[in-house]
Chains A and B, each alone.
Chain A
Amino acid sequence: MNLKKILNTNLVELDLKGNSKQEIIENLLDILVKTGNVKDRAVALEALLEREAKMSTGIQQGVAIPHGKTDAVTELLACVGIVKGGVDFKALDGIPSKIFIMTLSPSTRSGPHVQFLADISRVLISEGMREKLINAETKDELISLIVKRPS
């Protein structure tokens, strides 16, 4: 899966607003809604929250990957948001989440969706990389950090 094809500057937010899980998710979702590729915001939101209810997607070390499967989209959509101060996302390790990567994937179509999430999370394994992402000055810089990964 080509990260470059999926992400562009419209899908990145360097200063994501929100003080709770609900707000963060809604604000991230709105980034995707603005692209016009989400047919039904309410349905998509429900899918995201439903997944979050099963287990927090705040994985570790300040990274969260809220995601959901929904028919409100026809192909994989993704966006990235940074909250410099961090937000309590009920992460497994209790650390406030700062880097958010959201994906929505169609529930009926197959595709490398989980693989995409895994690929992008792998970028974030190194602490140095996470620091760089959080402190990125421009959207282009952020994207190039994610795309230009050691292969």
Chain B
Amino acid sequence: MTHLMTVLVLQLAVIIVAAKILGWVFQNKLNQPRVLGELAAGMIIGPYALGAIHIPALHGGLFPLPGTTLPVTPELYGFAIVASIILLFSAGLETDLPTFLRFSGKGSLVGLGGVILSFVLGDVVTVLFFDDVVHFMDPKALFLGTLSTATSVGITARILSERRKMSSPEGVTILAAAVLDDVIGIILLAVVVGVVKVETSGAGVPWGEIGIIALKAFGFWLISTVIGIIVAPRLAKNLKRFKSMDMIAIISFGLALFLSGLSEMVGLAMIIGAYVIGLALSQTDVAHETRERLLGIYNFFVPIFFTIMGMMVNFAAMKNVLVFGLLYTAVAFAGKIFGCGIPAIFAGFNMKGALRIGAGMLPRGEVTLIIAGIGLASGVIGQDMFGVAIMTLLAASIIAPPYLIKTFQGGSGYRSKLKDKDIGDIHSIELDFPGQKMADFIRGKLLEGFRNEEFFVHKVDYNKQIYHIRKDEILITLIQNEDKISINTTPENEAFVRLLMLEEVLDLKDFLSGLESMKSPDMMGADLLMGMFGVAPEKK
């Protein structure tokens, strides 16, 4: 027992340090998402690489193969489970249901098309390629189909924001489609996990039984989501009585853990419970704060998750499925490009617009890994197929961003010149401040101003100051780059944005004259120093 814990603690130490360092290198030096760095860290230190090196004091490698279905110890995998719950809880909290409902027309067409086509293609290619997979409903085929559906729109959102294309019709459609993509992907996962748990062999189960499982999974999701959304505002109100955002955040997270366990008990994947709680709370006013408060544990746990996922990559097993992996990757890409692109054409986009939307739906990320991890842990897919999932993820991360940037060059993606606003003419208002601290302060004030106007403010990326500010069909992007703040929006909302900025800047006047009427900073500084008398000041 003591030895077990000693090893666990040492493992965690190596994991978090390696994940942080490689994550940093990938992000800052290679210009790749941090996730990939964390994944690479896992591959390098894992049981199939450095982790196997014999260390005398440990009587083996630091990451020995435990000889179970998973290449990591259950203790360590427990951390990955908690991390996946945190990930999905946060994803749920971030879900912007009102915006989704606003744009649901085009968005759901596109999202649904992508999910259906990539699921079918992913499933069918598995059936065609493997002799032992004979049935569309084979667990392995179902899983690979599900794996093929998950889009991670974070990368797309970042690229579009940087290129000021977020508010373009394509950008808005991609975002709305991605919300649907997540929801359907997770329901699909619920159904597939349910089916797989019943299926014992590749023989398949009767359709009737599958129907019942699907209904149960969907029912659990729907009922708990509806109850969640109804109860959440009251819950948030009651939690506010504690007058502590930490309490609210932690109790909400406790609920997410609870519902995760519950969903596992009724035969669904744990992460569904976590996602549902997040989704329910996403519409309450504590959602934003809860996310902020959980950022600490998020930053600690989530890299552990990706690193452990990286550890599960067995290069030897991947060699055998290289051909299938390439085929599957190609099919997964086709599923998104055609599955999303074709409905986009029906929604009024031209070829260019359709390609842009297809490209925007290509990136994969967290959800792919979570699904793959669940498949591996339950024994439905082996290490070879897990390797295939990783291959697809890597390929998407490398190919999608430059492809997306390329597709967005050139003119409008709309087939006909409809109304002005549909063409996505974006005006940019830029403000320069004397320093970054000042800009930070103003940014905070502006965002608060938008929130007071009942806009939803959503931080697109944790590493960059890019925000989406939305209400109904209005989408405003705020980007802060050091001491510059720029706000992008459509011409018809420009008057509003300018007026709001003006009001906030005028408020600043009050603040400044307030500062002036204070004691002079020197005096105050002197007072502060006097209080320190007797204690040698270490810093100025």
Which residues from chain A sit less than 8 Å from chain B, CB to CB?
51, 54-55, 110-115, 117-119, 121-122
Contacts and interface: CB of A to CB of B under 8 A. Distances in A.
Interface string B474-504: 0000000000000000001101100110110
A115 B453 contact: yes
B499 A118 contact: yes
Contacts of A113: 452-453
Contact of B500 (A54, A114, A122): A114
B449 A114 contact: yes
B384 to A, nearest CB: 54
17 contacts: A51-B506, A54-B509, A54-B510, A55-B506, A112-B453, A112-B471, A113-B452, A114-B449, A114-B499, A114-B503, A115-B496, A118-B495, A118-B499, A119-B496, A121-B495, A122-B492, A122-B495
B54 interface: no
Contact of A112 (B454, B493, B495): B454
Interface of B: 449, 451-454, 471, 492-493, 495-496, 499-500, 502-503, 506, 509-510
Contacts of A122: 492, 495
Nearest to A113: B453
A89 B236 CA distance: 47
A99 B92 CA distance: 47
Contacts of B453: 110-115
For the complex, would chain A's binding face be called helix, strand, loop or mixed by DSSP majority? helix
B496 A110 contact: no
A110 B451 contact: yes
Contacts of B499: 114, 117-118, 121
A4 to B, nearest CB: 17
Nearest to A55: B506
A119 B495 CA distance: 8
A101 to B, nearest CB: 12
Contacts of B493: 118
B485 to A, nearest CB: 17
A34 B452 CA distance: 28
B252 to A, nearest CB: 22
Given A54-B506, A54-B509, A110 B495 contact: no
The 10 nearest A-B residue pairs measured at CB: A118-B496, A110-B452, A54-B506, A118-B495, A114-B500, A118-B499, A112-B453, A114-B499, A115-B496, A54-B509
A40 to B, nearest CB: 21
A111 B499 CA distance: 15
A121 B499 CA distance: 10
A22 B536 CA distance: 58
B506 to A, nearest CB: 5
Contacts of B503: 114
B311 to A, nearest CB: 47
Contacts of B454: 110-112
Contacts of B452: 110-111, 113
Contact of B496 (A54, A111, A114): A114
Contacts of B500: 114, 118
B137 to A, nearest CB: 50
B504 to A, nearest CB: 9
Nearest to B451: A110
Nearest to B513: A54
A55 B509 CA distance: 10
B497 to A, nearest CB: 8
Nearest to B500: A114
A123 to B, nearest CB: 11
A122 B502 CA distance: 16
Given A112-B471, A115-B496, 4 more contacts: A54-B510, A112-B453, A113-B452, A118-B495
Contacts of B506: 51, 54-55
Nearest to A111: B454
Contacts of A51: 506
A30 B449 CA distance: 28
A112 B509 CA distance: 23
A63 B176 CA distance: 39
Contacts of B451: 110
A120 to B, nearest CB: 10
Contacts of A112: 453-454, 471
B531 to A, nearest CB: 35
A77 to B, nearest CB: 17
A112 B456 CA distance: 12
Contacts of A114: 449, 453, 496, 499-500, 503
B233 to A, nearest CB: 15
A83 B495 CA distance: 24
A111 B449 CA distance: 10
Contacts of A55: 502, 506
Contacts of A111: 452-454
Contacts of B495: 118, 121-122
Nearest to B492: A122
A117 B502 CA distance: 13
Considering residues A54, A113, A117, A121, which has the most beta carbons from chain B within 10 angstroms of its beta carbon?
A: A54
Contacts of A117: 499
A110 B452 CA distance: 4
B501 to A, nearest CB: 10
Contacts of B509: 54
